[in-house]
Chain A
Amino acid sequence: MLLDPIPPVRVAPERNAVLLLDVQRAFTSRCHGLGAAQQARGIAREFDEYHAMVDAALPGIARLLSVARGCGALVVHALLARDAPDSPLSLQWRAAGIALPSASALDAELSVPPASQDHVFARGAHSPFSAPGLLPLLRARGIRRVMLGGMMAGATVAPAARELADRDFAVVVLNDATASETMEWHATLMQGLLGGLIRVQSTDDAIEMLEGTRT
């Protein structure tokens, strides 16, 4: 062997956060929110690949959350709500014609079971930072790296990755914990995010990073 293998570097879980955007019924169910709106328009079939990606993502997200909670990583859910107290619904969401839940009923809205130590933010715009409590929480906990997943990869996850990087966080976009309108577009989107502080990896990669078996 010419070179010694690079030893695995255990990440410090307490400096890592798992941030999930819109992993909620309005964007994971064919019968609520986005799915219901597409059905009403008669174009639900256009979202077949999106929902296939959603269905594939949810079990991996649940496994990641279990590992993250077990090793002390921060878990944050940022959900869209029509009446978030500190984050009014944006004009483009009001015009979108998609039924969003009330901020008072978010526990029932989550598509993966929440745990008591998880943080849940309601917001009314695409940006996760439109929930004013998110950035102070990440700073207060000394978070260095954010593992990012969520629905509507193009509209929400990709811009959130840029925003996190602009705030000096290392970002790991979980390419199989997100969903786009088509698989082809998803691949293009993920490839376009790579670079700078942003990496694109799988949920299994993230789990191994938290467990200390992957750099």
Chain B
Amino acid sequence: MKVVRTVLGDIAPDALGITAGHEHLWCDQNLCRDGNFPRRVEKMCLRDLDLVVAEVLPFHAAGGRAIIEVTVAGWGRDVAVLAEISRRAGVHVVATAGYYVESCLPRFARDADIGRLEQALVDEVTQGADGTTIRCGLLKAAVSRAVLEGVEERCTRAVARAHHRTGAAITTHTSASSRFHIPGGNAGEQFLDVFEAERVDPARIIIGHCDENADIRQLERLARRGAIVQFDVIGKSHWMLDETRADLVAGLLDRGHAERLLLSTDRNRVSELHVRGGPGYDHVLTRFVPLLKARGADEATLHRLLVDNPARIFAMPADAMAETNA
């Protein structure tokens, strides 16, 4: 039996509904171990519960039913707050266990061996996170440089081994400031090399941030290796126009990769929310889906991208879980 592990408990995958695969609801990069991170852009920070709930409501009104929250320990994840948001906004929320870039790792992680890094993740998926019994339903690895190396590689291997023990899917942060130095525009293939060496099925790996500096040839290589290609900064026009993203998604659909696509917006700053005139969490549903329809995506295809794929990808075996949520 498979379930999706949300902050309010386990649910059947087909109860997930329309899902945003990569968002932040509660985060604060002011808490990163390196106080100067990030150096050149506004820190990601969402710390207003009422505001976030109000911003999620338009997502729900547009048909959205689930948000995958990818903040991890080290920069403000709080699964109890996520549970409160889930209750108040009426959407499922999946919390994430994992390791973000080196500058934001939890204090213990920098010098920990892979086994300790792995056990911390397994505990968050099977026992509970942030001092609660609320469990995470996804694993995450990240890279901050052009090469996956050092502590970030150790964390990635720990994520792979935690995946084997829990069955939770893996999402990846593939870019940061090094994106223009990486052939193809993101480190997706480097992640796949490490995960495949750790015997992880690529179908359980989400390559994130594929739409920041895209090259459709690389995206197709990722899909052909079996990984999930995630367009998750939709609406961020400083990276790419949504029209271009829609062209790329349509191109991947034409090449037969509908089962390998996820969509999301990666909201992580108040300036990106409706309250400040930003596109908000509902942008994919209200603005991007029409662009896909204009390029020939039919209802069945959209259902696959927004409902079927998330239900399959974020499902994990129920029998891998030691406890149930309180």
Binding site for B on A (CB under 8 A): 40-43, 45-46
B240 part of interface (Cβ distance < 8 Å):
yes
Binding site for A on B (CB under 8 A): 214-217, 219, 240-241, 243-244, 247-248, 251
A128 to B287 Cα, complex, angstroms:
44
| Contact sample, A vs B, 22 pairs, CB 8 Å cutoff | A40-B217, A41-B214, A41-B215, A41-B217, A42-B214, A42-B215, A42-B216, A42-B217, A42-B219, A42-B244, A42-B247, A42-B248, A42-B251, A43-B214, A43-B216, A43-B244, A43-B248, A45-B241, A45-B244, A45-B247, A46-B240, A46-B244
- Set of chain A residues within 8 Å of B243, measured between Cβ atoms: 45
CB nearest to A40 among chain B residues:
B217
Known: A40-B217, A43-B247. 10 other contacts (CB 8 A): A41-B214, A41-B216, A42-B215, A42-B244, A42-B247, A42-B251, A43-B214, A43-B244, A45-B241, A46-B240
Q: Do A46 and B215 touch across chains, with their CB atoms under 8 A apart? A: no
Main secondary structure of the interface of B (DSSP, over half): helix
A23 to B27 Cα, complex, angstroms:
48
A42 to B248 Cα, complex, angstroms:
6
Closest 9 A/B residue pairs (Cβ)? A42-B216, A41-B215, A45-B244, A42-B248, A43-B244, A46-B244, A45-B243, A42-B251, A45-B247
- Set of chain B residues within 8 Å of A46, measured between Cβ atoms: 240-241, 244
- Set of chain B residues within 8 Å of A41, measured between Cβ atoms: 214-217
- Set of chain A residues within 8 Å of B241, measured between Cβ atoms: 45-46
Q: Name the distance in Å between A95's Cβ and chain B's nearest Cβ.
A: 9
A41 to B251 Cα, complex, angstroms:
11
A139 to B219 Cα, complex, angstroms:
51
A21 to B215 Cα, complex, angstroms:
27
Q: Name the distance in Å between A201's Cβ and chain B's nearest Cβ.
A: 30
Q: Do B240 and A43 touch across chains, with their CB atoms under 8 A apart? A: yes
Q: Name the distance in Å between B242's Cβ and chain A's nearest Cβ.
A: 10
Q: Name the distance in Å between A179's Cβ and chain B's nearest Cβ.
A: 17
- Set of chain B residues within 8 Å of A43, measured between Cβ atoms: 214-216, 240, 244, 247-248
CB nearest to A47 among chain B residues:
B244
Q: Name the distance in Å between B125's Cβ and chain A's nearest Cβ.
A: 36
Q: Name the distance in Å between B115's Cβ and chain A's nearest Cβ.
A: 39
- Set of chain A residues within 8 Å of B240, measured between Cβ atoms: 43, 46
Q: Name the distance in Å between B194's Cβ and chain A's nearest Cβ.
A: 24
CB nearest to B211 among chain A residues:
A43
A46 to B214 Cα, complex, angstroms:
11
- Set of chain B residues within 8 Å of A42, measured between Cβ atoms: 214-217, 219, 244, 247-248, 251
- Set of chain A residues within 8 Å of B219, measured between Cβ atoms: 42
